[in-house]
Structure 1
Amino acid sequence: MIDFSDLEKRQKNSFGQQKQLIKQVMAGRKVLCAHCQQPLTLQTQPEFVVICCPDKCTELMLTAEK
């Protein structure tokens, strides 16, 4: 039988890190990309919200609900 507990733990940690990053950016704090060290920005579109760095090495796309 395959043990998925390690994979599940990493996914849970990754989700928690992304959630924290989203909260910080949406609160107006300066958050740097882990790869290029440039600030992440919040961009709003009618159907979604994007958090990304200028080089797009970090890009989170969130669906916006009305």
Structure 2
Amino acid sequence: MADFSLINKNSSHSFNAQKRLIKELFAGKTIPCDKCGKPLSASLPAANEPHLLGHIRCPKGCTDIELELE
């Protein structure tokens, strides 16, 4: 039987790191991209366009996180 505990632990760590990054960015902190060091920016869809996704990106495109909004 396969042991998925390490995979689950790494996945949980990654999820929590992204959650913390999103929280800090929306709190107004400047967060640099892990790869290029450029500041990350967040964009959210307009209220009348709920079908679009939000994004967190760096100017070079190294970081690109899609946000599902409810």
Q: TM-score normalized by structure 2? A: 0.86
Count, aligned residues = 65
Q: Could you tell me which amino acid in structure 1 is paired with residue 40 of structure 2?
A: L
- Structure 1, unaligned runs of 5 or more: none
Are residues 1:33 and 2:38 paired?
no
Are residues 1:59 and 2:41 paired?
no
Q: TM-score normalized by structure 1? A: 0.90
Question: Runs of at least 4 residues of structure 1 off by over 4 A?
Answer: none
- Structure 2, unaligned runs of 5 or more: none
Structure 2 match to 1:18 = 18
- Greater share of strand residues, 1 or 2? 1
- Between 1:11-20 and 1:44-53, the stretch displaced more is 44-53
